[in-house]
Every structure is written in C-alpha cells, then in structure tokens.
Amino acid sequence: MSNFDFKKKGAKVLVLSCIDPRFIDKLTNYLNNYKGVQNDYDLFNLAGAELGVLEKKPWRETFLEHIDIALKLHKIKKIFVFSHIDCGMYKVTYDMKEDDNHLLHKVNLDKVIENLKKLHPKLKYKRFLMIEKGIINLDGKVPKKLKADYDKMMGK
C-alpha cells in the first residue's frame, strides 16, 4: 500500500464479496483502481456473498450489524456487492455440479439490494459479477474484453 494513511477516518464504500481466494487479488486490484474508491472501502466477506446473506439468517444478521457499524464509524455512502461465477456456495445451496447459471447471480444480487434499499434507502448500491477474465459492473458499461463472455452468459 503506497498511500497508506493511518490517520484517515471513515470509508466511502462497504464491499461484500465471497471468501473464495481465487478472486481476492482481482477484487483488490479492481477496487484500488476504481475511480473515487481506491483504498477507501470496508471489506466484508461471506461464503457466496449475496447468497450467504439470502440463505443464512445468522450471516445476514451479522452483515446487517456491520452495515450499521460501518455507517456509524465510517459514514459509508455506498454498498458494493461482488458475486462470482463458479461459486462453491452456489453449488452447495442449489445442489448443482456447475455454477453456470449466471442469471441466478443477477437475480440474487437484485434480491439482496432490493432488501437493503428498504433498510437503508439513502445508500447507493452497485452490483458486480466476477468472471475468470475480469470484473463486470452490472450497473455500468461492460468492458470490451468481457463483452463476448458476458453476452454468452446472459444468453444473448
């Protein structure tokens, strides 16, 4: 961390993502280059990210408590939720050999954010899908190098 500032208070964003180690470097790199975010985020990890929140009541309660803490201590303004393909939590929850139904990720992201909006209407929300080749902002433009993969997984 070249611009580590120990005295800095607060964070702009609370990030929810999966515990999967394959995506940690990708996510860190992506967020450090994300305009207006850089190192300025709280990180919360649950197996399956959005699916963990939907499926497991104690996890959901812990996540919601952390949102309250992040609001109180860090005055966060946004919540970013990162889903990823080939997720073990999806395979276990839906009893699937392959986690290749990418629309399911989108549906679950929408569900979680819809519920969060009811609790925290003033916060802004963004949904992301992490695939092998990179990260797609589902509320933004799909990067050119990921467009073909994205269209294919969304059945276009």
Binding site for Zn ion (CB under 5 A): 18, 20, 87
Smallest distance, Å, CB 38 to Zn ion? 25
* Closer residue to Zn ion, CB minimum distance, 60 or 120: 60
* Closer residue to Zn ion, CB minimum distance, 18 or 67: 18
CA distance 55 to 93: 8
Go through 3-18 and write b for each residue having 16 or more CB atoms within 10 A of its CB, e for each that does not: eeeeeeeebbbbbbbb
What is the helix (H) or strand (E) element at residue 53, kind and residue range? helix 50-55
* Closer residue to Zn ion, CB minimum distance, 88 or 143: 88
Smallest distance, Å, CB 40 to Zn ion? 24
Smallest distance, Å, CB 100 to Zn ion? 14
**Token pair 């005295």 in the structure block, residue:** 7
- CA proximity to 90, closest of 59, 125, 50: 50
* Closer residue to Zn ion, CB minimum distance, 50 or 123: 50
Smallest distance, Å, CB 39 to Zn ion? 23
